[in-house]
Structure 1
């Protein structure tokens, strides 16, 4: 066991050195790319969805807060990166990212420079997900804090004003343009929130509260090509949720490879329909991480040796 631990630490160190170059590297990646929250090196990394690139740690883009992007004062809060998503607004692309140490930010992609908005959301509240809203504000879900907040990012890049909705074990946040609601996932329930008030003074109101079929809500993502469906993961299952019926289902294409315990992230490639999941890996030195992500429809695996992957997502805007 000690030999395995030492080996893993050495590999993690090699990986950290490989990405310890610029806070934002020069390439923008390509279709079929995957973004990782890589906790060994405290970086967001993007790779092509090809094992050859993963074997060589051939990252097409990396990012972390620091002096180069004006976020040196928040760098200490970027411990255990917990979320990475791509968003588009007004013709621009952004990395949406959080870290368990309290960090939350919206960063221009691929420049990776001056953040649209960034904050340390009250220290160890353990932010787990983030969403950019149409009015320019930013939703953040924090599990230890037990809340979903909407920060008034529209009012400035370091705005600290927020509206809060209490939600035990808050882990997921997804904006639903069709219904005009913000979906939030907690330990026990899935909630649809109306964002009322103004951009400068938002108000959160629960429009719908749906109990989860199993405990420990974790990941929440849209299903591209079907506005009625959301991916929902819990400690034990991976479901598709129908907004129109209010029902959760574990019967869907690819379920035998997708539906398993401790799935930390799930996304569908909007171009191919291929499903990507990251789940806890048995005996990994990081007890909530993996070095291998799973593909379904068709099946496949991608391994980045020595990595501490918490979430893996298709690098595509919802």
Structure 2
């Protein structure tokens, strides 16, 4: 084999490797304004590997591109990392295919703040404070703009499907509630099976799963770990007390969070070990950052 052939093969291998997605454990989504960005994290450095902007989504109605998705506040990996479920406080929610950027579901609602996919082809969306908000809405993922069920949820800020417990956990101003999800395709039913009062000054803001089956929950005055089986909340020392923590995300031995620096948004995020050690600050340019989520 000649030297030139070897060099050509080597270049092809490098190019192929660069084109492949990074391992999921090395990637996270960051969202703010009308953008979702994917970053590969290597130590204390972040490299942007993908970007989606609502204004460029030609398969969305104009009102979504220019108005309803102006301030994204959740960007949750779903479908095994193949899709992103995003919400915006400016009035909308969308389900995006990661590979193509295609939007397969969209819905208009005020102050959408968090969402997750449920078994049965449903989408759960938590709505925050608004005359037509403060509720939990259920949609069919194949039925845009058509809510199937609505329940009260004062200052709704979190919606997480717990597959191991077969429960939907939702976060409001004062509570975490667990719901059993049943029903038919167009007639979902939710039955509350448990509720827990938030610690500290309440004002629940973010709910996310953590390794081992528990949760992180952020409130007005800090970050807590939550164990649904024991019904207990414990202060997470690395971030409690700490004000205005907008999001916490854990995966394996890594943690990431966003703490507001300019009113409701930040100029970057922090990655660390799961105990909050070895913190590395990662700045973000050109976006009012609100949330980060590791890609599972």
Residue 126 of structure 1 corresponds to 111
| Aligned CA distance change for structure 1 residues 78 and 51 (closer, same or farther; 3 Å) | farther
Query: Separation in 2 of the partners of 1:280 and 1:65?
Result: 23
Residue 263 of structure 1 corresponds to 245
Residue 150 of structure 1 corresponds to 138
| Aligned CA distance change for structure 1 residues 149 and 275 (closer, same or farther; 3 Å) | same
Residue 96 of structure 2 corresponds to 107
Q: Secondary structure at the match of 1:140?
A: strand
Indicate whether 1:309 and 2:289 are aligned: yes
Q: Secondary structure at the match of 1:256?
A: helix
Query: Separation in 2 of the partners of 1:171 and 1:82?
Result: 10
Pick from 165, 179, 185: which aligns with 1:199? 185
What root-mean-square deviation, in Å, do the aligned CA atoms of Structure 1 and Structure 2 show? 2.1
Residue 270 of structure 2 corresponds to 294
Deviation at 1:211, TM superposition (A): 0.7
Q: Secondary structure at the match of 2:242?
A: coil
Per-residue CA deviations over 1:171-210 (Å, capped at 9, x if unaligned) read 0000011221100000110000122221211122211111
Per-residue CA deviations over 1:227-263 (Å, capped at 9, x if unaligned) read 2x11111111101101111010115xxx325652211
Pick from 200, 203, 206: which aligns with 1:216? 203
When the two structures are aligned, how many residues end up with a matched partner? 267
| Aligned CA distance change for structure 1 residues 217 and 108 (closer, same or farther; 3 Å) | same
Q: Secondary structure at the match of 1:187?
A: coil
Residue 30 of structure 2 corresponds to 36
Q: Show structure 1 runs of 4+ deviating over 6 A.
A: none
| Aligned CA distance change for structure 1 residues 67 and 280 (closer, same or farther; 3 Å) | closer
Query: Separation in 2 of the partners of 1:247 and 1:151?
Result: 31
Query: Separation in 1 of the partners of 2:58 and 2:96?
Result: 9
Query: Separation in 1 of the partners of 2:54 and 2:85?
Result: 13
Pick from 40, 48, 53: which aligns with 1:59? 48
Q: Secondary structure at the match of 2:82?
A: strand
Deviation at 1:309, TM superposition (A): 0.5
TM superposition score normalised by structure 1: 0.78
Residue 116 of structure 1 corresponds to 104
Query: Separation in 1 of the partners of 2:157 and 2:136?
Result: 9
Greater share of strand: 2
Deviation at 1:307, TM superposition (A): 3.2
Per-residue CA deviations over 1:74-119 (Å, capped at 9, x if unaligned) read 2121111111011126xx7111101111110111112111x23111
Pick from 141, 159, 165: which aligns with 2:151? 165
Deviation at 1:50, TM superposition (A): 4.4
**Residues 183, 193 of structure 1: 8 Å contact kept:** yes
**Residues 226, 234 of structure 2: 8 Å contact kept:** yes
